[in-house]
């Protein structure tokens, strides 16, 4: 039987809870993490904008290449010869992730509630490297696929040997200098962090460097998940990065697609926002607003409140501000 797409969020909530909907995947992007206050390295004031090659441990030639293209610091081309630029630029992000400076948002908690309440969450495909999905510890780890790798897992880029996350962070704290000059305990000079297996200084978070392949789990999981998917929730992503955006058209032709975003995206991928749309639903707005509303409609608001102390302050404030909130 062909299922009509929801016409509003209440319809979406009803569909999620219906028997027709058994397998749900989420494809998320930077928009779901905005409320956490995490620095977006592409925006003004972000990593690429504020890059100071002169402070980084590198040769003059490497610095010239960074000036020409700031993404060079996160490329395999430089990392394989000189891991310091990556580690020095990423130091606050690595340590901030360990200290949970940034908190999982309402959008992240929606995925966790979806799993706990319905057992219909098949997978979260996140394009974010921030590791915030992993704060939702009640989602089984294998259900979260960080498409572009993650700050929250560590391995040797040379031999693939996994490294202990906590000891790696300690090593970064002790061995990597702070080019942002915020941490008085940081060493003045950087020194190498060696892989315990191959002894090369190539240990790093498993974020995908430019020039390297995506983690194999992306391809394995999509092959497994997509044929049976009933609902794809596309949240906070501009859908411009492939192959992550290929989920949109690799799912079956009658799988319902929901876009949660400030503006419509994915026209070129076939998402239909017109009146004759057969399977697509657009929930316009900031992720936090839309997912808060959806959680209320699903009847999970009390469960969300239980997370209040673990949410970003702006999200907690949003819940408190929400006029209808608390009226059960
Ligand atoms: Zn190694």
- Whether residue 47 is contained in a domain is answered as no
pLDDT digits (tens, 9 = 90+) for 263-300: 999 999 999 999 889 999 999 999 999 999 999 999 99
Cα–Cα distance, 56 to 87 (Å, whole number): 10
Catalytic annotation, residues = 148
Q: Residue 328 falls within a domain, yes or no?
A: no
Other beta carbons within 10 Å of 130: 26
3-state SS, residue 235: strand
In this predicted structure, what is the pLDDT of residue 43? 65
Q: Which residues are documented as binding site for Zn(2+)? A: 156, 159, 195, 198
The reply to whether 139 falls in a domain is yes
pLDDT of residue 324: 54
- Sheet with strand 256-261: strands edge to edge: 144-146, 121-126, 24-28, 231-235, 256-261, 280-284
More confidently predicted of 71 and 328: 71
Average pLDDT of span 161-181: 97
Lowest mean pLDDT among 1-15, 119-133, 148-162, 181-195: 1-15
Same domain, 172 and 288: no
Query: What CA–CA distance (Å, rounded) separates 313 from 250?
Result: 37
- Residue 211 alpha carbon to ligand 1 centre in Å: 18
Do 201 and 68 lie in a common domain? yes
Tell me the CA–centroid distance for residue 82 and ligand 1, in Å. Answer: 15
Detail the residues annotated as belonging to a binding site.
156, 159, 195, 198
Give the confidence band of 250 by pLDDT, cuts at 50, 70, 90: very high
In a domain, 2, yes or no: no
Based on the fold, state whether residues 166 and 182 are members of the same structural domain: yes
Same domain, 64 and 185: yes
Residue 1: what pLDDT?
Answer: 55
Say what angle helices 287-298 and 9-17 make with each other, to 10 degrees: 50
Cα 13 to middle of ligand 1, angstroms: 47
**Per-residue pLDDT band at 328 (split at 50, 70, 90):** very low
Under a CB-based contact definition with an 8 Å cutoff, are residues 171 and 187 in contact? no
Which residues lie below 8 Å from residue 100, measured CB to CB, with a gap of 6+? 135
Helix axes 84-98, 165-175, angle to 10 degrees: 120
DSSP 210: B
Ligand 1 center to residue 60 CA distance, Å? 27
The reply to whether 267 and 220 lie within a common domain is yes
Q: How confident is the model at residue 258 (pLDDT cuts 50, 70, 90)?
A: very high
Ligand 1 mean position, distance from CA 75 (Å)? 18
Q: Which domain holds residue 23?
A: 9-38+103-149+214-321
The C-alpha atoms of residue 48 and residue 115 are separated, in whole angstroms, by 36
Same domain for 117 and 140?
A: yes
What is the sign of the dihedral through the CA atoms of 297, 298, 303 and 304? negative
* Cα-Cα end-to-end distance for the chain: 35
> Which pLDDT score is estimated for 192?
98
Q: How confident is the model at residue 327 (pLDDT cuts 50, 70, 90)?
A: very low
pLDDT at 169 exceeding the cut of 90: yes
Domain membership flag for residue 43? no
Span from the CA of 173 to the centroid of ligand 1 (angstroms):
20
Please give the distance, rounded to the nearest whole angstrom, from the Cα atom of residue 163 to the centre of ligand 1.
9
- pLDDT tens figures, 210-247: 999 999 999 999 999 999 999 999 999 999 999 999 99
Residue 200 has pLDDT above 80, yes or no: yes
- Report residue 38's pLDDT band, with 50, 70 and 90 as the boundaries: confident
Average pLDDT over residues 16-24: 97
Position 129 in a domain = yes
- pLDDT surpasses 90 at 149: yes
Distances (CA, A) of 92 to 54, 181, 303: 18, 10, 32
Residue 154 pLDDT: 97
Mean pLDDT across the chain, nearest whole number? 94
Where residue 72 sits, what CATH number does that domain have? 3.30.1600
> Structurally, how many domains does the chain consist of?
2
| pLDDT tens string 44-99 | 666 777 789 999 999 999 999 999 999 999 999 999 999 999 999 999 999 999 99
273 inside domain: yes
Are 185 and 270 in a shared domain? Answer: no
């Amino acid at each position: 039987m062909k299922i009509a797409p929801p016409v509003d969020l209440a319809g979406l909530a009803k569909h999620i809870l219906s028997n027709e909907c058994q397998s749900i995947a989420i494809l998320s992007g930077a928009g779901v993490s905005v409320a956490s206050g995490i620095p977006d390295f592409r925006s003004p004031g972000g990593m690429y904008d504020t890059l100071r090659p002169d402070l980084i441990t590198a040769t003059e030639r490497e610095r010239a290449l960074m000036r020409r293209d700031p993404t060079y610091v996160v490329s395999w081309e430089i990392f394989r010869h000189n891991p310091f630029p990556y580690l020095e630029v990423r130091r606050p992000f690595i340590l901030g992730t360990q200290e949970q400076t940034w908190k999982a948002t309402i959008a992240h908690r929606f995925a966790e509630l979806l799993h706990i309440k319905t057992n219909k969450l098949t997978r979260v495909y996140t394009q974010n490297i921030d590791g915030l999905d992993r704060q939702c510890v009640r989602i089984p780890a294998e259900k979260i696929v960080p498409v572009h790798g993650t700050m929250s897992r560590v391995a040797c880029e040379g031999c693939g040997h996994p490294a202990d996350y906590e000891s790696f962070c300690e090593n970064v704290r002790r061995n990597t200098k702070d080019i942002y000059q915020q941490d008085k305990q940081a060493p003045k000079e950087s020194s190498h962090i060696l892989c315990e297996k191959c002894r090369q200084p190539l240990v790093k978070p498993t974020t995908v460097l430019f020039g390297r392949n995506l983690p194999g789990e992306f391809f394995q999981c999509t092959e497994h998940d997509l044929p049976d998917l009933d609902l794809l929730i596309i949240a906070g992503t501009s859908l411009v990065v492939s192959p992550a955006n290929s989920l949109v058209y690799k799912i079956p032709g009658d799988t319902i697609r929901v876009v949660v975003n400030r503006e419509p995206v994915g026209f070129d991928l076939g998402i239909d926002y017109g009146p004759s749309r057969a399977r697509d639903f657009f929930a316009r707005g900031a992720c936090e607003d839309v997912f808060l509303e959806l959680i209320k409609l699903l009847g999970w608001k009390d469960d969300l409140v239980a997370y209040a102390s673990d949410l970003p302050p702006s999200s907690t404030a949003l819940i408190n501000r929400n006029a209808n909130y608390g009226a059960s």
